[in-house]
Amino acid sequence: MRKMRWVVIFLCFLAIAVNYVDRANLAVAAPQIEKSLGIGPAEMGLILSGFFWTYAFMQMPFGWFVDRVGARIALPLAVGWWSLFTAATAVASSVGAMFGCRLMLGVGEAGAYPSCAKLVAQWFKPAERAIATSIFDSGSRVGSALSIPLVALIISTAGWKASFVITGLVGILWIVGWLVIYRSPAHGDMTGPTDAIVPRPTRSAVPQATWGSLFRHRTLWGMMLGFFCLNFVIYFFITWFPSYLVQTRGFSLKSLGTLGMIPALVSIPGGWLGGLVSDALYRRGWSLTASRKTCMVGGMLLSSVITLSAFTSNVYLMLAFFGVAYGSLAFAAASIWSLPADVAPTPNHVASISGIQNFASNLAGIVITTFTGVMVALTKGSFTIPLIVAGGFCFLGAFSYLVIVGRIEPLPAEPGGQHGGTEAARSTV
């Protein structure tokens, strides 16, 4: 079972990588799609935002669903759904049809992170959760990095429609691998490791805890706001970054597939480092609160350098600013995705809390895609305002994790939130 847990995390890593290739391929193909459909940046911003509407609003119901049926069933179901609509995007011939495919893509992809967070909580103890989380979460950066050269190569050889068909088929291959490899632990194995991995204080009211009672705690609201701020910046990389490099910096399709990968490549070890540091601090005697918040707040503050990229004409310095920003966001994300397991009142709330915080974070996807498209259209191609605003959200996110999020510990499970009054008093690092 101890060997199997790392296999599980690797499968989660692959699922998230496929997830991000499938959501990012539209951003890489955007310039070609604009020409093919005869549309401008405002319409493309609408299409890019379509995914986030359903992805955001399906997070909470999908998190509830994962807690009920288990990640073993929910994760391949999610992968199959989003792979189908990735491939279907190839036959979309209008703004409405493409927007509809992106809506359906978001429905399936909503199940990925709640399922992976549930698996981490099931298989790993607190002192190992951040590194385990950083491994599966790094799939998002690997997927983003691979999407640029992979989709660019497919587009240059077979056209933009082929890129959606091919990336959709990759998800089907993952499902076959999951069904062949994954095995749930036997009951005896589950009892031993799981009890040790997810210890919870004994409370008579725990069985009565409700989904709605989670919203009574300010820590959850701080997690939602902080993650919104982080994803506001990250989704610029996933949606508008390729267009920024092509339209503002004059990158060719070839340079987009090489130099354009640098920020995403930097973010991969950045996420792993964030997980290692967070867990190492905890093992060395730091409180869980101090170890998690140090990484989250520090990463958010450093990521604000993204704003500086708008004020340099040097391409390599610009890429360096983007790389530091993306790496710092990934550094913070390892601890952020550990929070659902850290603060869940019971193991049956982990995926639900994951879905709640991811719902809030992906509202940022709707905002950043639409806001950037409108600003670029109004300023005749300038990305300066979106990049300045992104830096501001980095500071707001750091404030949220430092001040609004309380102690990193299991939330009181009582449905009435009887302990909510003491939470504010315990909200220091």
- Count of domains observed in the chain: 1
Can you tell me the distance from the alpha carbon of 113 to that of 386, in angstroms, rounded to the nearest whole number? 27
- Asked if residue 253 is part of any domain, the answer here is yes
To the question of pTM greater than 0.85 for the whole model, the response is no
Q: Are 257 and 145 in contact (CB under 8 A)?
A: no
- Asked if residue 408 is part of any domain, the answer here is yes
Per the structure, the complete domain to which residue 11 belongs is given by 2-182+212-425
CATH no. for residue 326?
Answer: 1.20.1250.20
- Asked if residue 311 is part of any domain, the answer here is yes
Per-residue confidence in pLDDT tens, the chain, 429 aa: 567 888 889 999 999 999 888 877 777 777 788 877 777 777 877 787 788 788 888 888 888 898 888 888 999 999 999 999 888 888 877 878 888 888 998 899 988 988 998 888 888 888 888 888 889 888 888 887 777 778 878 888 888 788 888 888 999 999 999 998 887 654 433 333 343 344 444 444 444 557 677 788 889 999 999 999 999 998 888 778 888 888 888 787 677 767 877 888 888 899 899 989 999 999 898 998 999 999 999 999 999 999 998 898 898 999 999 999 999 999 999 899 888 888 888 778 888 888 888 888 888 877 887 788 888 888 888 888 999 999 999 999 999 999 999 899 888 866 444 443 434 334 333
- Asked if residue 188 is part of any domain, the answer here is no
- Asked if residue 329 is part of any domain, the answer here is yes
CB neighbourhood size of 207 (10 A): 9
- Asked if residue 20 is part of any domain, the answer here is yes
Can you tell me the distance from the alpha carbon of 40 to that of 366, in angstroms, rounded to the nearest whole number? 18
- Asked if residue 330 is part of any domain, the answer here is yes
- Asked if residue 234 is part of any domain, the answer here is yes
